[in-house]
Amino acid sequence: MSKIVEELNDVVIKFAGDSGDGMQLTGTQFSNTAAFIGNDLATFPDFPAEIRAPQGTVAGVSGFKIQIGNQQIYSPGDEADVLIAMNPAALKANMDWIKDRGTIIIDSDSFKAKDFEKAGYNNNPLEDGSLQGYNLIEAPITKLTKDSVAEFDIENKSRTRSKNMFALGIVYWLFNRPLEITENFLDSKFKKLPELAKANKAALKAGYNFALTVELLPSSYKVKAAQLPKGKYRSITGNEATAWGILAAAEKSDLKLFLGSYPITPASDILHELSKHKSFEVVTLQAEDEIAGICSAIGASFAGSLALTTTSGPGLALKGEAIGLAMMTELPLVIIDVQRGGPSTGLPTKTEQSDLLQAVYGRNGESPVIVIAASTPSNCFDFAYQAAKLAVEHMTPVILLTDGFIANGAEPWRIKRMSEMPKITPAIVKGERGDWNPYTRDEKKLNRTWAVPGIKGYEHRIGGLEKQDITGNVSYDPNNHEVMVKIRAEKVARVANFIPELTVAGDEKADLLVVGWGGTYGGLHTATSAMIEQGQSIAHAHFNYINPLPKNTAAIFAKFKKIVVCELNNGQFVKLLRSELPQFDYLQYNKIQGLPFSKGQLINEFEGLLNGK
């Protein structure tokens, strides 16, 4: 059947259903297909914290949002053009996030009286007028899925589980996507269960054919490939990119990689990914708790490995004393904190920039460490690599902050060659001992050298008690303690000489400078770029280096009339800026809802500031 094909520059799609409906898998497959045919994209998986929330309730809704485009995409978008709602709860949870006159595709088999009651509806939303103005497509997805897999020898419960593939088939037709990529995935995933692979492929094709023939879909849409820099691309999540970045650093520095970690949402996928790479001599230890995880990593660092530990906010709190130990012994250590909503257990599956002050200050005594932050799923690779480089060259712990949004989100990543990556030179001792001492320092960096056990002539002791300058012997001398505290602080401060300077997107004479850090980059860049295109007097500066700050930060800030600091917390970075650079006045815009910034919210706020509100 011939139907109209309309071209779009970009589109936002939201898959939503019960946590057992396979929405994360469905969204991931659509993302991989979009990346394969050359679209730029950004995703936002959103799932409940409960392992199994009551079925059919709003609390149990799992969602996956994706924006694809024929130009560079920096965020998963705000309101969806198309919502696939597998039950009433999914519809109710997302009604505020669908565009006027947008398309809503529902599984009509799941929209019965009992389903409305579970979702908390007082009336039938299909009949009460609340969906007026939307393009509503009621498809008997569950029934048609059962029909499509009837011939296959599979369990009864597996027959309805394939309905996510039926829904994906509808969306593939709607946006002119090929089926082959997902079919190949299903063959691989169910290699040992070929009948199940056949059933899922049949459901996928049935959904595609349904969309092809149903009269409620008058047209399909096409989003052309984006003009991205030449190279080989793949879709990658932030956690995958983080794991690969640290793996690349181990290869570049010629060090064995050791990860000591305790599983915690949303950081566990880094442990899962690195455990796959034993062929690169990666050693992963799933420890019994957070403290054991970091202490095993410190031991590995002492023994000469590139040592890593991963966690989220609650785990970072538990690791505090051991981070101080690594700082005191001046051993290289990378601590990756994938931030989530807090405090305490907080919002385990929601995003928040909640741990900045803990990362910078959250240890007993004077315990400065390097703190950096990734800002997109793909550049998690670069900043994991940079965290390792700074740790082994400056001989100090480095905390890398990511967050749940970029860790679970995905985007196209241009695969890098090792020859493109900057050189890493670990500060390992060389030659004869001579007049070497454990705390003999480099004049420029103030780092001590790394004497790995087993190197003849370099036997020494280190530990958590205060060290005598140069010799490393235990010292309780008050004057020596003050000297050592100041040296360790200065060592971190001098890292500013080895990191990039702050850059500004937009006119450096603009009236308003938008300041962000870490994972808010996509939303802030999207909003400020749109305003710049409209001729508004606004610019954007984004921080990836937190402690120390880039050397030119004050010079950049001095050029602007107004500075607004935007964060997904109650104002942690702005507190740091007021402490470090008190000569400037800072406005602030904060969101603490477990959700990323939206373009509309930001533009409304920035226009108000430009208009003097």
Per-residue DSSP letter, 449:
P
Overall domain count for the chain = 3
Same domain, 256 and 293: yes
CB 543 within 8 A of CB 577: no
- Gap between the Cα atoms of 229 and 218, Å rounded: 35
Same domain, 335 and 204: no
Task: For residue 254, give the nearest of 481, 396, 86, 425 by alpha carbon.
Answer: 425
Same domain, 323 and 216: no
DSSP 91-143: HHHHGGGEEEEEEEEEEGGG-SHHHHHHHT-SS-TTTSSTTTTSEEEEE-HHH
Task: For residue 139, give the nearest of 178, 86, 82 by alpha carbon.
Answer: 86
| Residue 18 located in a structural domain | yes
| Residue 395 located in a structural domain | yes
Q: What is the pLDDT of residue 266?
A: 96
Same domain, 255 and 127: no
Provide CB contacts within 8 A for 482, sequence distance 6+.
none
Tokens standing for residue 358: 């803990």
Direct distance between the N- and C-terminal alpha carbons of the chain, in angstroms, rounded to an integer: 55
- Give Cα separations from 37 to 81, 400, 587 (angstroms): 20, 33, 43
Same domain, 567 and 591: yes
Tokens standing for residue 193: 């269960």
CATH assignment at residue 547: 3.40.50.920
- Gap between the Cα atoms of 371 and 358, Å rounded: 11
Global pTM value = 0.95
Helices then strands, each counted (H, E), the chain: 21, 22
- Gap between the Cα atoms of 412 and 226, Å rounded: 11
Cis peptide before 582 (omega within 30 of 0): no
Q: What is the pLDDT of residue 445?
A: 97
Same domain, 415 and 282: yes
Which residues constitute the domain of residue 71?
Answer: 4-223
- Gap between the Cα atoms of 466 and 482, Å rounded: 10
Same domain, 90 and 42: yes
Instruction: For the chain, give the number of residues.
Output: 613
Kindly report the backbone phi and psi dihedral angles of residue 51, in degrees, each rounded to the nearest multiple of 5, phi listed first: -60, -40
Q: What is the pLDDT of residue 97?
A: 92
- Gap between the Cα atoms of 218 and 5, Å rounded: 9
| Residue 134 located in a structural domain | yes
Tokens standing for residue 442: 């480099």
Tokens standing for residue 341: 């909503």
Q: At which of 350, 385, 420 does a domain end? A: 420
| Residue 591 located in a structural domain | yes
- Gap between the Cα atoms of 510 and 561, Å rounded: 8
Same domain, 218 and 75: yes
Same domain, 151 and 242: no
Q: Say if residue 189 is exposed, middle or buried (CB neighbours under 10 Å; 0-12, 13-18, 19+).
A: middle
**Any alpha helices (H) in 440-518, and if so which ranges?**
478-493
Low-confidence ranges of the chain (pLDDT < 70): 1-3, 216-218
- Gap between the Cα atoms of 392 and 306, Å rounded: 8
Q: What is the pLDDT of residue 220?
A: 82
Which sign, positive or negative, has the C-alpha torsion 436, 442, 447, 453? negative
Same domain, 245 and 359: yes
Same domain, 210 and 244: no
Q: At which of 420, 445, 465 does a domain end? A: 420
Task: For residue 140, give the nearest of 95, 92, 86 by alpha carbon.
Answer: 86
- Give Cα separations from 88 to 57, 94, 112, 119 (angstroms): 8, 10, 9, 6
Angle between the N-to-C axes of helices 194-213 and 180-189, in degrees from 0 to 180, rounded to the nearest 10? 160
| Residue 469 located in a structural domain | no
Amino acid letter at 303? A
Q: What is the pLDDT of residue 214?
A: 82
Q: At which of 368, 401, 420 does a domain end? A: 420
CB 381 within 8 A of CB 416: yes
Q: What is the pLDDT of residue 2?
A: 56
Per-residue DSSP letter, 494:
G
| Residue 323 located in a structural domain | yes
Q: What is the pLDDT of residue 331?
A: 97
| Residue 467 located in a structural domain | no
- pLDDT one-digit tens code per residue, 511-521: 999 999 999 99
Same domain, 413 and 349: yes
Parallel, antiparallel, or unpaired: how do β-strands 135-139 and 257-261 relate?
A: unpaired
| Residue 153 located in a structural domain | yes
- Gap between the Cα atoms of 235 and 41, Å rounded: 9
Kindly report the backbone phi and psi dihedral angles of residue 385, in degrees, each rounded to the nearest multiple of 5, phi listed first: -60, -45
CATH assignment at residue 88: 3.40.920.10
